[in-house]
């Protein structure tokens, strides 16, 4: 029965296909009678037993737990405070690093002409090898002349 229904449902011409109601009825016939699922029975959430000592009084937490928690809170607070201070200094200084010497000597390895250079003046084209892009044609650029800039103004 299913071997007849599926090709009919996949017919190219929509007029040859069964309607949605007909397909549902035929699929239910193929599937046969269905037993309804039993209703789920709710189970209560388990309640943890209270921690008590031999005398029936609430038990104290294990030694050192409070101190460890205090250390974690202190370390986390110090890290957040440090990040805020660093961010505030960067904002107040405008993101500028130390001034370069006036004689032009490089102060860091990146100032000496490394491939990466200064991150504020990054040139992604410096990372590309021209020979790799050569198959797309040569590069050409005509600098603007004084007459062409005056004509566009």
Neighbours of 110 (CB within 10 A): 13
Tell me what the mean pLDDT of segment 8-21 comes to.
90
Per-residue confidence (pLDDT) for residue 81, from 0 to 100? 94
More confident residue, 57 or 99: 57
Task: For 107-120, write each residue's pLDDT tens digit.
Answer: 554 444 555 556 66
Summary mean pLDDT of the chain: 74
Evaluate whether residue 138 is within a structural domain. Answer: no
Evaluate whether residue 7 is within a structural domain. Answer: yes
Evaluate whether residue 119 is within a structural domain. Answer: no
Q: Using a cut of 0.85, tell me whether the model's pTM lies above it.
A: no
pLDDT above 80 (res 80): yes
Evaluate whether residue 24 is within a structural domain. Answer: yes
Structural domain span for residue 18? 2-31
Per-residue confidence (pLDDT) for residue 152, from 0 to 100? 56
Name the CA dihedral angle for 129, 130, 135, 139, rounded to a multiple of 10 degrees.
150
Per-residue confidence (pLDDT) for residue 39, from 0 to 100? 84
Evaluate whether residue 130 is within a structural domain. Answer: no
The number of domains in the chain is 1
pLDDT above 70 (res 50): no
Per-residue confidence (pLDDT) for residue 111, from 0 to 100? 47
């Amino acid at each position: 029965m299913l071997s007849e229904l599926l090709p009919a449902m996949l017919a190219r011409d929509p007029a040859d296909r069964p309607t949605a109601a007909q397909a549902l009825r035929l699929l239910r016939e193929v599937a046969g009678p269905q037993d309804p699922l039993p209703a789920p029975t709710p189970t209560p959430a388990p309640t943890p037993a209270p921690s008590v000592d031999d005398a029936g009084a609430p038990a104290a937490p294990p030694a050192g737990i409070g101190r460890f928690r205090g250390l974690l809170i202190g370390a986390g607070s110090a890290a957040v405070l440090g990040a805020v201070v660093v961010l505030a200094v960067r904002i107040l200084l405008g993101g500028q690093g130390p001034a370069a010497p006036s004689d032009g000597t490089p102060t860091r390895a990146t100032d000496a002409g490394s491939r990466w250079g200064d991150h504020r003046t990054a040139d992604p084209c410096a990372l590309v090898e021209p020979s790799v892009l050569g198959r797309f044609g040569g590069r050409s650029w005509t600098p603007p002349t004084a007459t062409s800039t005056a004509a566009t103004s």
